Amino acid sequence: MSEPDTLFERLASPSHRVKHAACDEALSRLRADPALREPLRALLGSPDPHARFSAVWVLFQAERPTLRLLPALLGALELPDGDLRWQAAQMLTALGRLAPEVLPVVLHEARASESAVRRRMAIFVLRELAPERAETGAVYLAALDDRDPEVRRAALSCFAKLTDPDLALARRALALAGGSDPDPRMTRIATVVLPGLASFHPELRGEIETLLGELEHSSDPSLVRGAQAARRQLDASNA
């Protein structure tokens, strides 16, 4: 099959190789010819998700990002290609650091997007954009009841990045390490994050130590290793 001929056709290509080369070419041409900016901005509204992603990537690199890029970045959070999703998440995080209007939008996406992939990616954006905000912790806590297991795992894994986790978060992680979620991977993730949460809530240290002792005798070898590593981390923090 022959490759697309025009730059804009290549920007819409699902091929990584073709798209990457076209984005680099468009960025180079835009710097030499500012007239290309308007066609690229028009492409932000394309019905083709690959074209929208390419346009937002080029414009993001070429100029100071603005809220004009926000809809295309949010849409790119649910692209099938994981690499493109992560690039979109990184750009969205950077945009959020420039424009405070982005944070409430990402909080809403993490809470209420109809797409589970989009909820999960928004959770990861919050991890980098606003780990110090109480709203982020509240979103993570609510996401532990999400119907999608990948969203629940994402939220729990992000507990470790919160700069001031609430006691309710720590207690929920303790319950999850005890097996309150049917997904065994939630138990393993909770075990990993417990030592860090104990540093914020030392009143839970005794319960955490008791639970880790029980988990060290689990029939799941990976859970045993996780509990042992968590105990070492807990002991080191108390040294």
Tens digits of residue pLDDT in 48-71: 999 999 999 999 999 999 999 999
Region 152-163: what's the mean pLDDT? 97
Contact between 129 and 110 under an 8 Å Cβ cutoff? The reply is: no
- pLDDT > 70: percent of the chain: 97
Q: Which pLDDT score, from 0 to 100, does residue 137 have?
A: 98
Closest listed residue to residue 138, CA positions, set 105, 165, 113: 165
Q: Which pLDDT score, from 0 to 100, does residue 207 have?
A: 96
Contact between 51 and 43 under an 8 Å Cβ cutoff? The reply is: yes
User: How many Å apart are CA 97 and CA 159, to the nearest integer?
Assistant: 21
Region 154-173: what's the mean pLDDT? 97
DSSP 14: S
| Spatial CB neighbours of 61, under 8 Å, sequence gap ≥ 6 | 27
Amino acid identity, position 92? L
Question: For 80-131, how does the pLDDT look when each residue is reduced to its tens digit (9 = 90+)?
Answer: 999 999 999 999 999 999 999 999 999 999 999 999 999 999 999 999 999 9
Assess whether pLDDT exceeds 50 at residue 2: no
User: How many Å apart are CA 178 and CA 27, to the nearest integer?
Assistant: 51
Assess whether pLDDT exceeds 50 at residue 3: no
Contact between 157 and 187 under an 8 Å Cβ cutoff? The reply is: no
User: How many Å apart are CA 90 and CA 128, to the nearest integer?
Assistant: 9
Assess whether pLDDT exceeds 70 at residue 25: yes
